[in-house]
A and B are shown apart, each in its own frame.
Chain A
Amino acid sequence: MNDLDALYQEIILDHYKNPHHAGLRDPFEAEVHHVNPTCGDEVTLRVHVADGTVADVSYDAVGCSISQASASVLTDLVIGKPVEEAMAVHETFLALMQGKGQVEPDEDVLEDGIAFAGVAKFPARVKCALLSWMAWKDATTQSLEAQS
């Protein structure tokens, strides 16, 4: 597979065309707005935490296929998981993205997220893939603070 096809895997294009959990929903404890200043990609993202579990993540995003698909995969992976476990998934995804293409993705943890392994070889696109993940971590931390 060439680098371009490794970047734009079918899974990514599927999520891009049919994003999961898209749209902004109630209830939520925290809403954040993150932008990628170099390219202008934006995401507004809400997190609802209930009983220590990520009960819902909803979002409104404008951006490229990578950033859109990444938001969709993120919600699949974290919704319904205990916060601590979701944070661990976040760490795993972050390590994959920052691994310059040298990190072997763990399908058990990342599921569809392994399709982003090819993104790590394109430094200019890593920020696209991480935009919603960084927003989610920010919003989740704020949700926990709001509840404590």
Chain B
Amino acid sequence: MTAPSQLTLEGLLPQLEVVRKDFPILERSVAGGLPLVYLDSANTSQKPQCVIDAMVDHLERHNANIARAMHTLGAEATEAFEGGRDKVAAFLGAPSRDEVIFTKNASEALNLVASTLAFRGPRQVGEGDEVVITEMEHHSNIVPWQMLTERTGATLRWFGLTDDGRLDLSDIDELITERTKVVSFTWVSNMLGTINPVAELTRRAHEVGAIVVVDASQAAPQLPIDLQAMAPEERPDAVVFTGHKVVGPTGIGVLWGSRALLEELPPFLGGGEMIETVRMERSTYAPIPHKFEAGTPPIAEAVGLGAAVDYLRDLGLDDVRRHEHALTAYALDGLATVPGLTVLGPLDAEGRGGAISFEIDGVHPHDVAQVLDARGIAVRAGHHCAKPAHARFGVQSSTRMSSYLYTTPAEIDALVEGLHYTRSYFKLD
């Protein structure tokens, strides 16, 4: 299983062993002295030393509240926070840095858009309007739209899935119509791994005047994103992702929205920082991005996120994508050797990201994950916050391995060996 020829796959990041040294947690052992095999990066990624150092340095030397403290530290903290915004804007290729809104996480970013679409304004959703999502969404891109349509009397509709785990676009003309006000979908499925056709769906939605919201939580870590390079008709109106999946900290997410959309949406949360002036009768609001950032924001987290996206840009997202692609293909081959194992989602590495969910006949995912954990291998078991997608494939839960830029072929070998062992442990051989 560990022949040297298999340890150097075409497409792996150059100097992978050096890259791994950037991530201190990969040095630790678990399960009584075994090396950690971390295959749960779609859940959260590990953090490089530069991100940890950036946050520690900020807290040790520059900590102050931002945009209001009239002293040296306040100025430094403000600069560091806004510097994080600049770095995220560059990471996304955003047309303007003011279009980058910091939120708590991707869920809050989606809720921001879905909630404010219920408020009075030029984009307000109402009875007779339709919101279109897909059956492969994470719960965070289902529930906010259910709440929006329940609040407003609008109708929620969705794309189904094909048997091989792709969007079923055969009824696109019935789904995306002049009644459609919002189309929201994931760029890369967190369960099936599927990469969705963002440009095509966006163009179709724009043709009927709908706005397009893309959940890039799984895309941002592994696909190059260049909003500015997209044709305007194929560029989504909003793209969200979360910091902790792009080697950044928890507690911070990003909403990128086009200036046109963000200026039309009413404010989400009210409070400090998001105002222009406040009188007892009424207030006026700050321009974007601060209009959507009420209260003290996650400052150290923005500094950490800035360091994280800079780290990814230094590595090169094209190279990260190639690395993920090589490992995904290698993992699909390895998983195919496990008797009774069924992969949920596309079987070709080309059209998918690095998360692979699977079932093993006769062993429940919890039990798979437990046996793997005893061998130092971390995977996720359960519904991965995608219950409807599991229901579509007639399963209640699955086991998911997800690789990332620091994953090695030897770790995939350890997983495959662990799965063979799991079957023998439960006496399936």
B370, A125: Cβ atoms closer than 8 Å = yes
**A38, A42, A65: the one within 8 Å of B364 (CB):** A65
**A3, A4, A42, A128: the one within 8 Å of B366 (CB):** A128
In the complex, A77 has a CB within 8 A of chain B: no
- 1/0 per residue, CB under 8 A from B, across A34-57: the answer is 000011111000000000000000
**B366, B381, B426: the one within 8 Å of A66 (CB):** B366
**A7, A40, A66, A125: the one within 8 Å of B397 (CB):** A40
Question: Which residues of B sit under 8 angstroms from A134, Cβ to Cβ?
Answer: none
A148 to B374, CA, bound (A): 49
- 1/0 per residue, CB under 8 A from A, across B355-371: the answer is 00000000011110011
- 1/0 per residue, CB under 8 A from A, across B334-348: the answer is 000000000000000
Question: Which residues of A sit under 8 angstroms from B365, Cβ to Cβ?
Answer: 64
Question: Which residues of B sit under 8 angstroms from A66, Cβ to Cβ?
Answer: 366-367
Stretch binding the partner chain, chosen from B46-54, B186-194, B382-390: B382-390
A3, B374: Cβ atoms closer than 8 Å = yes
A39, B371: Cβ atoms closer than 8 Å = no
Minimal Cβ-Cβ distance residue in A for B384: A40
Q: How many residues of A contact B (CB 8 A)?
A: 20
**B364, B390, B425: the one within 8 Å of A64 (CB):** B364
Whether A40 contacts B382 in the complex (CB less than 8 A), given A8-B425, A64-B364, comes out as yes
| Chain A binding surface SS class | mixed
B367, A65: Cβ atoms closer than 8 Å = yes
Question: Which residues of A sit under 8 angstroms from B382, Cβ to Cβ?
Answer: 38-40
Question: Which residues of A sit under 8 angstroms from B364, Cβ to Cβ?
Answer: 63-65, 68
In the complex, B283 has a CB within 8 A of chain A: no
B366, A125: Cβ atoms closer than 8 Å = yes
B387, A40: Cβ atoms closer than 8 Å = yes
In the complex, B396 has a CB within 8 A of chain A: yes
Task: Quote the shortest CB–CB distance from B116 to chain A (angstroms).
Answer: 28
In the complex, A62 has a CB within 8 A of chain B: yes
A122, B370: Cβ atoms closer than 8 Å = yes
A8 to B390, CA, bound (A): 26
Minimal Cβ-Cβ distance residue in B for A39: B382
**Using a CB–CB distance below 8 Å, which chain A residues touch chain B?**
2-4, 7-8, 13, 38-42, 62-66, 68, 122, 125, 128
Chosen A-B contacts, 30 in total, with CB atoms closer than 8 Å, are: A3-B374, A4-B370, A4-B374, A7-B370, A8-B367, A8-B425, A38-B382, A39-B366, A39-B381, A39-B383, A39-B397, A40-B383, A40-B387, A40-B390, A40-B397, A41-B366, A41-B396, A42-B396, A62-B396, A63-B364, A63-B366, A64-B365, A64-B366, A65-B367, A65-B426, A66-B366, A68-B364, A122-B370, A125-B370, A128-B366
A-B pairs, top 8 by smallest CB distance, nearest first, are: A64-B366, A64-B364, A39-B382, A40-B383, A4-B374, A62-B396, A40-B397, A65-B367
